[in-house]
Copies of this chain bind each other. A is one copy, B any other.
Amino acid sequence: MTTLSPTPRSTVRRLPLRARTDRADLYAVLDAGMVCHLGIVLGGAPVVLPTGYGRIDDTLYLHGSTGAATLRAAARGEPVCVTVTHVDGIVHARAVMHFSMNYRSAVVHGVPRLVTGDAERLDGLRAITENMSPGSWAHARGPNRRELAATAVLALELAEASVKVRTGPPGDDDEDVAAGGVWAGVLPVRTVFDPPQPCPLLPPDVPVPAHVTDRH
Mark A residues whose CB is within 8 Å of B.
9, 13-14, 34-35, 37-50, 52, 64-65, 67-69, 79-83, 85, 87, 89-90, 92-97, 99, 101, 103, 105, 107, 109, 125-126, 129, 132-133, 136-137, 139-144, 147, 151, 169-170, 172, 176-177, 179-180, 182-203, 206-209, 212, 215
Contact of A46 with B194 in the complex, beta carbons under 8 Å: no
What are the residues of chain B within 8 A of A169 when measuring CB–CB?
A: 197, 199-201
Task: Supply 30 A–B pairs (Cβ within 8 Å), ascending by A.
Answer: A14-B68, A34-B90, A38-B48, A39-B81, A41-B44, A47-B81, A47-B109, A48-B81, A49-B105, A50-B85, A89-B197, A95-B141, A95-B143, A96-B126, A97-B125, A99-B133, A99-B136, A133-B187, A139-B182, A140-B182, A170-B199, A183-B202, A183-B207, A183-B208, A184-B201, A185-B199, A185-B212, A188-B194, A188-B195, A190-B194
